[in-house]
Amino acid sequence: MDRRRRVILGTAGHIDHGKTTLVRALTGVDTDRLPEEKRRGITIELGFAPLVLEGVGTIGVVDVPGHEAFVRTMVAGATGIDLALVVVAADEGVMPQTREHLEILRLLGVTRGVVALTKADLVDDEWLALVEEDVRAATRGALPDVAIVATSAQTGAGLPELRAALLEAARSVPARTHDDLFRLPIDRAFTIKGTGTVVTGTVWSGSIARDESVRILPGGRMARVRGIQGHGAQRDQADAGARTALALGGVDVAEVPRGSTLVGDSEWRPTTLARADVAFVPDLEIELRPRTRFRIHTATTEVGARIVARDRDDSTNAPFAARLVFDEPVVLRAGDRFVIRTSAPLDTIGGGVITDPYAPRRARLWPPGLSAAERLERLAVEAGGNGLEVRDLAVRIGLPPRDAEAAVRASSVMTVIGTRVVMRAVIEDLEQTVLDATRAYHEMYPLEPGIPSHALRGRLRAAPEIVDAVIAGQLNAGIVQSSAGYIHMAGWTPTPTVAQEHSLKRLRDRLSAAGAEPPSTDELAAELGGDAGPLLRFLERTGEVVQVEPSRYFAAPQLQALVDRLRSSMANGSERTPGELRDALGLSRKFLIPFLEYSDRVGYTRRGSNGRVWQGA
């Protein structure tokens, strides 16, 4: 068998039409194994059997119940199948669950299959021809041009022809890629003595090997795969499309109910809000009220949900865009199909396809029918400066990881920065903001060395790694430069205006003249008639003045002279009290204490037990 073409076949059809009997005739396996199934003569739970088809190998068969009360089980079984075996009893013909199951197949996107007209032994040829006509009409929507084969499990008539039709249909199933994220929706969980917890399901994508770890969602528990079985044999690995039983170590059977999903990668996470394209079945008038609750069946999960749509034209049954708001967290991927049912009356009313499993709150609706590339672009636009995590894309746009990354690379309008996808237009906006903010800062503060880089970063509305990349890009391109925590335009230097030059000269003169007891910044501001801070900081950067205390600057030569006097008054390592130093330096206490603290701070002096000791050069 072609490793890449694993096929799952699912039965469909009205109660008692002979699905289980036909599966037994084809495979030799009686899938009705529960005592209650035996007693009532109906199928209640999903049944599984391997079917050997010369030419394609062993395919998995899922037998579903036809009883109208078990449609949810039918949906769980039908979801993930490649081929349908639609069973219509020749004596009864098309019945309500024949139609409902066909509708479900259509909604789930199962377009391949074969129809068996069972119990052909009970009718004559004329009758058979009429039923066949009805079946042809009923299947037109779901399975156009399907092969219809009359069979009898009683006499064996038609079984070789049915096998031949199934073989041909199986050959038309496209190969699945294995190079994808592992996911297995669980349809059954039970305990086997000596083995422990066993779950079964069809591997929807990716593959899993023995001893690997899996996560059970939505709960999030981890479990180890202790054993893998496929078609009754032990295996090392299970691949996409394989009907599989997994023995899980470390979990109780109660922790893996039907509807749970096994995943292998952290990209998967439960969600309660999704965007979807929805369609209601033709000829049903359905009104969407804000509080109306629906049952959504997807994979093996059934969950209550509200459907929120805007501008839906409810006079047509055309697909429309909607938000699905789930009552409980579910595991979804873009491209997943679902069936919508109402609980009273119990009825299949529609279905659709997930277009964004991780919809943000208040997510805007997209027009229906977008391609993966179009959805990717909309997501990137919506994400703005935050970007989209690349690792989320496989789930979020519904492509294998490699294809998702290729879609990003193939797009000329987006780019990858670190772990995120960002629109190029967003990057260009951010680059422009860097320039605008830097230039504006220069204009506003011509004496400053540039915009403090934290202030610039605060101006860029984007994820930190994107901000970093944008600024680094502008630095590398030589458009801006950085020094000591400031960013400035390339080639820019602080340049005082004529008025500022004038003020600077006054400050220089004033501080030189003031000697060891210069005026405070407030006093200087009063003399200048404006804020002296920027001017003083400018002179500090040119080395002309030194800030000794927060509100006081010294002219550098004046400060140096004072330091020299301090040094000579403290010769021979002698310790001097503040009083002695006040006398030696001739400073008032108001100037002395801040000056001594400055000397300590820059390391000229250190404090001893009674005073200060010189320790500088």
Ligand X SMILES: Nc1nc2c(ncn2[C@@H]2O[C@H](COP(=O)(O)OP(=O)(O)OP(=O)(O)O)[C@@H](O)[C@H]2O)c(=O)[nH]1
Does residue 15 touch ligand X according to CB under 6 A?
yes
Contact between 504 and 535 under an 8 Å Cβ cutoff? The reply is yes
Does residue 221 touch ligand X according to CB under 6 A?
no
Q: What is the largest CA-CA distance in the chain?
A: 131
Does residue 42 touch ligand X according to CB under 6 A?
yes
* DSSP assigned state of 364: P
Does residue 19 touch Mg ion according to CB under 5 A?
yes
Of the residues 60, 65, 351, 352, which one makes contact with ligand X according to CB under 6 A: 65
Does residue 73 touch ligand X according to CB under 6 A?
no
Does residue 427 touch ligand X according to CB under 6 A?
no
Does residue 82 touch ligand X according to CB under 6 A?
no
Of the candidates 511, 490, 588, the residue with the CA atom closest to the CA atom of residue 556: 511
Of the candidates 248, 253, 252, the residue with the CA atom closest to the CA atom of residue 229: 248
Which backbone phi and psi does 536 adopt, to 5 degrees? -65, -40
The 3-state DSSP composition of the chain as helix, strand, coil percent (nearest 5) reads 35, 30, 35
Does residue 101 touch ligand X according to CB under 6 A?
no
Q: Which residues pair with 614 in a beta bridge?
A: 605
Does residue 20 touch Mg ion according to CB under 5 A?
yes
Q: Report the partner that residue 122 touches, choosing among Mg ion, ligand X, none (CB closer than 5 to 8 A by kind).
A: ligand X
Does residue 67 touch ligand X according to CB under 6 A?
yes
Does residue 558 touch Mg ion according to CB under 5 A?
no
Segment near Mg ion (CB under 5 A); pick from 11-19, 89-97, 363-371, 454-462: 11-19
Residue 93 structure tokens: 């013909």
Does residue 66 touch ligand X according to CB under 6 A?
yes
Residue 213 structure tokens: 């770890």
Written as one letter, the residue type at 233 is: A
Least distance (Å) from ligand X to the CB of residue 324? Answer: 30
CA distance 406 to 122: 57
Residue written as token pair 């400073």:
587
Rank residues 122 and 593 by Cβ distance to ligand X and give the closer one.
Answer: 122
Does residue 43 touch Mg ion according to CB under 5 A?
yes
Rank residues 41 and 616 by Cβ distance to Mg ion and give the closer one.
Answer: 41
Segment near ligand X (CB under 6 A); pick from 115-123, 334-342, 518-526, 580-588: 115-123
Does residue 21 touch ligand X according to CB under 6 A?
yes
Least distance (Å) from ligand X to the CB of residue 152? Answer: 4
Residue 600 structure tokens: 């300590």
Of the residues 119, 378, 488, 612, which one makes contact with ligand X according to CB under 6 A: 119
Does residue 398 touch ligand X according to CB under 6 A?
no
Specify the 3-state DSSP secondary structure of 360. Answer: coil
Residue 318 structure tokens: 């055309």
- Kindly write down the DSSP assignment for every residue of 134-174, as one continuous string: HHHHHHTTTSTT-EEEE--TTT-TTHHHHHHHHHHHHHTSP
Does residue 17 touch ligand X according to CB under 6 A?
yes
**For binding to Mg ion (CB under 5 A), which residues are involved?**
19-20, 43
**For binding to ligand X (CB under 6 A), which residues are involved?**
13, 15-21, 42-43, 65-67, 87, 118-119, 121-122, 152-154
